[in-house]
Amino acid sequence: MALSRHVHVCLEPSLTDSDLPESLADERFEISALEPEVLLNSLAERGLGSVWVDGAQTLKTFLAAGLVDMITVTRIPVLIGEGRPLFGALSVDLKLEHLETTSFESGVFQSRYKVKKQTT
pLDDT digit string (tens) for 2-54? 445 666 666 555 556 566 667 666 666 777 778 889 988 888 898 877 788 87
- pLDDT for 104 equals 96
Question: How far apart (Å, rounded) are the C-alpha atoms in residues 1 and 118?
Answer: 40
* Residue with more model confidence, 79 or 95: 95
* Residue with more model confidence, 46 or 104: 104
pLDDT over threshold 90, residue 112? yes
Q: What value does the mean pLDDT take over residues 50-72?
A: 84
Beta-carbon-side half-sphere exposure of residue 61 (alpha carbons within 13 Å):
15
Angle subtended at Cα 29 by Cα 10 and Cα 12, rounded to the nearest 5 degrees: 25
Number of Cβ atoms within 10 Å of the Cβ of 68: 19
- pLDDT for 2 equals 46
pTM: 0.71
Cβ-proximal residues to 71 (8 Å cutoff; 6+ apart), any chain: 59, 96, 112, 113, 115
Mean pLDDT rounded to a whole number for the chain:
80
Q: What value does the mean pLDDT take over residues 46-69?
A: 83
Q: What value does the mean pLDDT take over residues 86-112?
A: 90
